[in-house]
Amino acid sequence: MTKLVAVSTIHMAKDNLRERDKMIIDRLMEDMKTAMKAGDKARLGTIRMLRSDLKNAKIEKGDDLDEVEEQKVLASYAKKRNEAMENARDGGRDDLVAKERAEYDVTMSYLPEQMGEDELKVIIKKHIEAAGGGKQAFGQVMKAVMADVGSQTDGKTVSALVKELMQ
């Protein structure tokens, strides 16, 4: 009888993951329908790319993605859009800057709110103290901070702040 309860619990946990995953898919589908009806081609294209990236990550993993993995996929897409925006700006292509900015904004609407610099500094200081504070602990501090903040900020910002606070 204990085996039956354990198996049942496992199936319930998988069903909960599928339900949560459906909610994200449903939100993307609803937003896609809204964008189609409104004729918002930029938003529609971005949502399709997000769905595609999530589906590709799911296939690559061979199983459903958990919330953290989904956020990583979306954060990666946002980072690509941000880099493309910088490249377009450097190249003087204002039309591409606007397009990439729109895609970036749509993507960010699906991610948790980004962490503020002050809040991030508190977390970094905590990890610097735990690591002993020497410059050789940079990698250890980065790894610990990124594990804590996840997709609430990008690695470039964390790296700059860690370097600043370790001096």
Q: What is the pLDDT of residues 86-135, one digit of tens each?
A: 999 999 999 999 999 999 999 999 888 888 888 988 998 898 888 887 77
Query: How many other CB atoms sit within 10 Å of the CB of residue 149?
Result: 19
Hey, how many other C-beta atoms are within 10 angstroms of the C-beta on 31?
20
The CATH number corresponding to 2-108 among 1.20.1050.10, 3.90.950.10, 1.10.1510.10, 3.30.565.10 equals 1.10.1510.10
Residue 156's pLDDT is 86
Q: What is the dihedral of CA 8, 9, 12, 13, to 10 degrees?
A: -150
Q: Which CATH number fits domain 117-166: 1.10.260, 3.10.450, 1.20.1300, 1.10.10?
A: 1.10.10
* Spans of all domains in the chain: 2-108, 117-166
Count helices and strands (H / E) in the chain.
7, 0
Count of alpha carbons within 13 angstroms of residue 5, beta-carbon side: 2
Q: Do domains 2-108 and 117-166 have the same CATH topology?
A: no
The rounded average pLDDT for each run of 10 residues, N- to C-terminus, in the chain (167 residues) is 45 47 71 94 94 94 86 90 95 93 92 87 88 80 87 85 86
